[in-house]
Amino acid sequence: MPLSETTTMATDTSSAGNHIQEPVEEQLGDFIGQQEQHDEVAQQDKLQQRTLALVKPDAVQANHQQEIIDKITLAGFTIIQQKQLQFTLAQACLFYREHENKPFYGQLTEWMSR
């Protein structure tokens, strides 16, 4: 595994205490591209919340993934999907597009895709 990979997890707080980990089959593009579907699901089920957690490259390099995952589950989140991937620059730019006009955008996207 390259040191610059990022771990992503989708977490579900609707069934806290029942911790399940399932592999994620989607690519990051699918994750981001599902925003419209997510909006529809959010309207249908307002009681269920979902959170995307990213373990940043420096934490992966320092081997802190499991420690971070443990903290997430101890906080009551249920991990329903988990995938380890490395952002391309294009994926990082797409993921952080809301910050495109901010001074740190270039540095952030470069760092997250290293």
H helical segments located in the chain: 28-33, 35-44, 57-61, 65-74, 89-95, 105-112
The answer on pLDDT for 83 being more than 70 is: yes
Q: Where are the chain's structural domains?
A: 6-86
Two structure tokens written together for 110: 């470069």
Average pLDDT, the chain: 76
Q: What is the pLDDT of residue 63?
A: 95
Two structure tokens written together for 31: 């994750």
Query: Pairing state of beta strands 78-85 and 6-12?
Result: antiparallel
Q: What is the pLDDT of residue 25?
A: 42
pLDDT tens track for 33-65: 555 566 666 666 566 788 899 999 999 999 999
The answer on pLDDT for 14 being more than 60 is: no
Tokens 């089920």 correspond to 45
pLDDT band at 114, cuts 50/70/90? Answer: confident
Q: What is the pLDDT of residue 107?
A: 96
Tokens 């249908």 correspond to 44
Give the separation between CA 104 and CA 25, rounded to whole angstroms.
31
Q: Count the alpha carbons within 13 Å of 36 in the hemisphere toward its beta carbon.
A: 1
Q: What is the pLDDT of residue 96?
A: 96
